[in-house]
Chain A
Amino acid sequence: MANSIDSFLGVHAQALAVESRRTQLLAANLANSDTPNYKARDVDFRAALAQASSQGAAAGAAGAAGAAGATGRALPMTAASAGNSLPGGAAASAQDPTLLYRVPLAPSLDGNTVDPQLEQAAFAENAVRYQATLTLLNSRLRSLMTAITGQ
């Protein structure tokens, strides 16, 4: 029964996907740190994880709320961004409520809202979270192997 293994892995499988997506977005922010009118984007981790969990097994939802509570002090973000340069960028945000725009702490003249230091910090944090999720998944898989082999 695949479903019982899914629920045994808990929220971590979905968390890994959300963190991987966040790695990509933060990489894009850093790559565009000198692009005029580029608006930095990030995912609302709590909402994205809750969404991924509700799409997946319903059993993961309870765990999602608990894990998301740890990310309470997130950087300020907004759903809308004025003067967005990306074709279809605003539309993508409207489609996906978890994909938000960063609110700049110090707006720059060229319309770029990437703060490289903040993005670096967020990227490092996300990398550690990803590794933590991997470790947790690994330990679950190990106990699963122990149960299967009985040794």
Chain B
Amino acid sequence: MSTFRVFDIAGAGMSAQSVRLNTVASNLANAESVSSDPATAYKARHPVFQATLDASGNGGEGASVAVRGIVESQAPAEKRYDPASPLADSNGYVYAPNVNTVEEMVDMISASRSYQNNVEVMNTARNLLLATLKLGQG
């Protein structure tokens, strides 16, 4: 059992949540990137998290977290009538990404809170270890 593994776990959690924040930023930035074809329209991206165990086994304790991949949402692109747009197709339609901005904002808050959780875990573990190092001195 490694005493410092808690830092690896919390660090992996922070890294995973920051990937999630990145995809939210990407989705929100492209929320209005219209396209002339539904196939080429931007699709909302979401990370898939997976619990992973330490390679050394470690008695199967303290699962870390990893981003297994990023999936694109399969929801249909939003069809908008906008004949003035230079990207409009022959019928005057443009296709907006399938990004739900409300969902993305909620996802952002959730990711941010989870990130803060991991930071707090790391801070607390650090304080406890520092106190342990001073054992017998005070």
Total interface residues on B, CB under 8 Å, equals 40
Asked if A105 CB lies within 8 Å of chain B CBs, one says no
Q: With CB as the reference atom, state the residue of chain B lying closest to A140.
A: B136
How many A-B contacts if CB must be within 8 Å? 115
A134 with B65: in contact, given A23-B125, A123-B124 (CB under 8 Å)? no
Contact A25 B62 (CB under 8 A): yes
Task: Evaluate contact between A23 and B60: CB separation under 8 angstroms.
Answer: no
Q: Which chain B positions have C-beta within 8 A of A38?
A: 51, 63
Asked if A141 and B64 sit within 8 Å, CB to CB, the answer is no
CB < 8 Å neighbour of B128 from A23, A35, A85: A23
Is there an interface contact between B64 and A28, defined as CB atoms closer than 8 Å? Answer: yes
How far, in whole Å, are A21 and B58 apart by their CA atoms in the complex?
Answer: 11
Within B25-58, the residues touching A (CB, 8 Å) are: 48-51, 53
- Please determine whether B117 and A116 come into contact, CB atoms closer than 8 angstroms: yes
For the complex, what is the distance from the CA of A91 to the CA of B13, rounded to whole Å? 24
The answer to whether A24 and B1 touch across the interface, beta carbons within 8 angstroms, is yes
Range of interface residues on A (Cβ < 8 Å): 35 or more
Decide yes or no: A27 and B128 within 8 Å by CB, A33-B117, A87-B53 being known contacts.
Answer: no
**Besides A23-B6, A27-B10, A137-B135, 16 other A-B contacts (C-beta < 8 A):** A16-B132, A24-B1, A25-B61, A27-B9, A27-B13, A27-B121, A32-B65, A34-B17, A34-B49, A35-B65, A88-B60, A92-B59, A95-B60, A96-B59, A127-B128, A145-B136
CB within 8 Å of B: which residues of A? 16, 20-21, 23-28, 30-36, 38, 85-89, 91-93, 95-96, 99, 116, 120, 123-124, 127, 130-131, 134, 137-138, 141, 145
